[in-house]
Chain A
Amino acid sequence: GESVGLHLPTLSVQEGDNSIINCAYSNSASDYFIWYKQESGKGPQFIIDIRSNMDKRQGQRVTVLLNKTVKHLSLQIAATQPGDSAVYFCAENNQAGTALIFGKGTTLSVSS
C-alpha cells in the first residue's frame, strides 16, 4: 500500500550546523513529494517540493534530494537556526494526485 515514513523521530543539532532529515517512501509510482514544517500549535507550513523527474531542488537554505532507486527523500537545512526547531514531515501525492500521504515526522531541536 501507499505509505511514507521517516527514519528518525528526533534530531538534535547545534546552531550553525547543517541538518539532514530523512524519509523513506514505499510507493515507487509516487511522482510528487513535499516537505512541511510544523511548529507547535500551527498547521503544516510548506517548505519545498520536488517532482520525480528531478533528483535535487534547492530553496533558501534548504535542499531536497530524491533517490528513486532506493525510494529515499531527504531535506537538508544549511546553517540551522533556533527558529528551525519544529516537526518536519515528508509527504507524497497518492496515485490520483488528490491527497497527500504524510510520514510520522521528525522533531528537530536546535540548541544555541
Chain B
Amino acid sequence: EPEVTQTPSHQVTQMGQEVILRCVPISNHLYFYWYRQILGQKVEFLVSFYNNEISEKSEIFDDQFSVERPDGSNFTLKIRSTKLEDSAMYFCASSGSLEGPQHFGDGTRLSIL
C-alpha cells in the first residue's frame, strides 16, 4: 500500500539553526500538509499546500516557517531559526482530494537544544 515517507526520523539541532524536514507524499496525491504534535498533546495543523502554493496556514506557521515542493516527489518544511518550543513531532500528510482522507507519515522528531 502506498505510504507517506518522512526523513529524518529524528533531527537534533541547536537553537537558532535552520532545519529542513523532508517528506515524500503518496505519488498521485495533489494536496500536502504539515502538522505538529508536541509530546502528549493533540495534533495541530500547520499548513496546507496545493498547486504549488499555500492554501491555508495556522497562526503557528509564522515567518520562520516555509514549505516547498522542489521537485515532483518531495515536499519540505523549513524552520529558519529554530526555538526551543519548536521541539515536537512533525507529520507530513497528503490526500488525493479535499473530500478524501489525509494519510500521514510516521513523522520526524525534532529536538532543539
Question: Is there an interface contact between B98 and A100, defined as CB atoms closer than 8 Å?
Answer: no
**Size category of the binding interface on chain B:** 20 to 34
Interface string of A16-29 (1 = CB under 8 A from B): 00000000000000
Known contacts A44-B91, A96-B56; A102/B44 CB under 8 A: yes
Question: Is there an interface contact between B42 and A104, defined as CB atoms closer than 8 Å?
Answer: yes
Q: List 13 A-B contacts (CB under 8 A).
A: A34-B101, A43-B93, A43-B104, A43-B106, A43-B107, A44-B91, A97-B99, A98-B48, A99-B45, A99-B56, A100-B43, A103-B42, A104-B42
Whether a CB of chain A sits under 8 angstroms from the CB of B33 is: yes
**Size category of the binding interface on chain A:** 20 to 34
Measured CB to CB, the closest approach of chain A to B54, in angstroms, equals 10
| Across the A-B interface, the 5 shortest Cβ-Cβ residue pairs | A43-B104, A98-B56, A99-B45, A102-B43, A97-B98
Contacts of A104 in B (CB 8 A): 41-42
CB contact between A43 and one of B42, B56, B91 (< 8 Å): that residue: B91
Contacts of A105 in B (CB 8 A): 42
Nearest CB in chain A to that of B44: its residue: A102
Whether a CB of chain A sits under 8 angstroms from the CB of B64 is: no
Chain A residues in the interface with B (C-beta under 8 A):
32, 34, 36, 41-46, 49, 89, 91, 93-94, 96-105
Measured CB to CB, the closest approach of chain B to A109, in angstroms, equals 16
Contacts of A43 in B (CB 8 A): 4, 91, 93, 104-107
